[in-house]
Each structure stands twice: as C-alpha cells, then as structure tokens.
Amino acid sequence: MAQRLHLVFGGELVDPSKNTFKNVDDIHIVGIYANYAGAFDAWKAEAQRTVDNAHMRYFIAHIHRLRDEETAASSTEELE
C-alpha cells in the first residue's frame, strides 16, 4: 500500500469567501501526517483555536496525490 501523506496548513485570508492568503510568509505549517485521521485531528484543533477570527482558515492538502498524479483518487479513498 502506498504511503498517504497529508499536510495541514493555514493562515489569514484576504476575504473569508476566497482562498487567497493575506501574507504567504505568515502561513502556519501545522505538520505532515501519515494518515487522514491524524491530519483531521490537527486541522480541527487549529480551526477551533482560531474560531474567533473569521479570516483564519486551515486546510488539509493530500500530498500523496501530488506524488502520483497518474493515479485517479476515488471519493472514498480516505475511508480505506
């Protein structure tokens, strides 16, 4: 089975309805996780910590999908 890596990162957005960061140099890299469950827990903790700032957003990037662009990912891939 291929290793599935997930990057959790976030920062302040210019507009809460868009995904453009106010300052790319200030992006908070939370970490890289070997499974989606760990990444989700980290994402949730950061999202809850910054809940009072409507401009703050955290994301989970599926790094394993970037490493193997030839393989199509299923919508239920993370459930496996």
What DSSP string runs through 10-55?
Answer: EEEBSSTTS--BS-GGG-EEEEEESSHHHHHHHHHHHHHHTTT-TT
Domain annotation covers residue 62: yes
Domain range for 32 is 6-67
Both structure tokens of 78: 């993370």
Domain annotation covers residue 1: no
Domain annotation covers residue 40: yes
Instruction: Give how many domains the chain has, as a whole number.
Output: 1
Tens-digit pLDDT profile for residues 10-62? 999 999 999 999 999 999 999 999 999 999 999 999 999 999 999 999 999 99
Global pTM value: 0.77
Res 2: pLDDT: 66
Domain annotation covers residue 46: yes
Domain annotation covers residue 19: yes
Res 3: pLDDT: 79
Domain annotation covers residue 11: yes
Domain CATH code at residue 20:
3.30.70.2400
Measure the CA–CA gap between 68 and 51, rounded to whole angstroms: 34
Helix (H) or strand (E) holding 8: strand 6-12
Domain annotation covers residue 75: no
